[in-house]
Amino acid sequence: MAGTARPVVLITGASSGIGEAVAERFAVDAERRWRLLLAGRDEARLGEVARRTGGVDLPGDLGDPAGVESLAARALEREGRVDVLVAAAGIGWAAPFTRTPPDVVERLVAVNLTGVVQLVRLVLPGMVERGVGRVVLISSMAGWAGVANEAVYAATKGGLLAFAESLRYELAGTRVGVTAVLPGAVDTPFFVHRGAPYHRERPRPVPARRLADLVWRSVVHGRDEVFAPRWLAGPARLRGGAPGFFRAMAKRFG
């Protein structure tokens, strides 16, 4: 993706879950031999992932504006460029909106949306200038359809979808692409951290390694939208074409 040089991928949330699995998947791409820049808050776990994958650990908090600025600066200082950004960092919260504390609202928006937008702002100009690159945003079906008791989380993920679509229009003709990844549930510690286990029968949680492979494929093949599992594209289209019917079915079957 950058001439004969080894391409550089910056992966956030790489200390666990989806980000960790994405780092492992890019690490075994023998053809492209990616240079991995790994960001995360858990310094010990991030260091372990970096050692296992041959990446460089760049610990920091993306919920803090200074942390975002620092991450971008360190990444560019280290490699001189970022060819691919995989924004996998994210947090959740499960509770009725009326019982969601204000500090939780602020943290969700900061980590899941504001921090991502600001990081893209810092690395995207270099991609455009070089005429090559891809931004991968890990959104959620919650951002497409909404989920009861996850209103703020869904709002942040919906914001990423609108951000991705808008960027695609702006970047037309630049050879810089934007991928939105829309998983249902993913088998990671996410649900433990949010304080409520996953309880729905469908969709069944997707293995993190499977989602990571879809992320890698979206970069290699230039895909703009990825559903996981793939059949979720059907309900997504139904919501767009028949929202009233979709809401009725969602209320009935969850």
Mean pLDDT computed over 83-101: 95
Annotated active-site residue in 93, 144, 153, 227: 153
Note down the domain range covering 143: 8-253
Mean pLDDT computed over 132-146: 94
* pLDDT reported for residue 111: 97
Instruction: Return the minimum-mean-pLDDT range out of 23-37, 112-126, 139-153, 158-172.
Output: 139-153
* pLDDT reported for residue 191: 54
Judge whether residue 251 has pLDDT over 60: no
**Dihedral of the alpha carbons of 116, 47, 177, 209, in degrees to the nearest 10:** -110
Q: What token pair was written down for 59?
A: 């610990």
Tally of domains in the chain = 1
Residue 228's pLDDT band (cuts 50, 70, 90)? confident
Establish if 171 belongs to a structural domain. yes
CA 155/CA 158 separation, integer angstroms: 5
Strand partners, 39: 58
Establish if 2 belongs to a structural domain. no
Residue 71 sits in a domain of what CATH number?
Answer: 3.40.50.720
* pLDDT reported for residue 156: 98
Mean pLDDT computed over 212-216: 97
* pLDDT reported for residue 72: 98
* pLDDT reported for residue 244: 58
Establish if 62 belongs to a structural domain. yes
Q: Could you tell me the pTM of the whole model?
A: 0.87
Nearest to 75 by CA among 89, 92, 90, 57: 57
Establish if 3 belongs to a structural domain. no
Mean pLDDT computed over 105-123: 98
Mean pLDDT computed over 2-6: 64
More confident residue, 210 or 191: 210
Residue 198 is a catalytic residue: no
Instruction: Return the minimum-mean-pLDDT range out of 81-90, 121-130, 200-209.
Output: 200-209
Judge whether residue 189 has pLDDT over 50: yes
Establish if 219 belongs to a structural domain. yes
Judge whether residue 242 has pLDDT over 90: no
Mean pLDDT computed over 57-65: 96
CA 150/CA 171 separation, integer angstroms: 31
Q: List strands edge to edge, sheet with 133-138.
A: 56-59, 35-40, 8-12, 84-87, 133-138, 176-183, 225-228
* pLDDT reported for residue 3: 47
Mean pLDDT computed over 38-64: 97
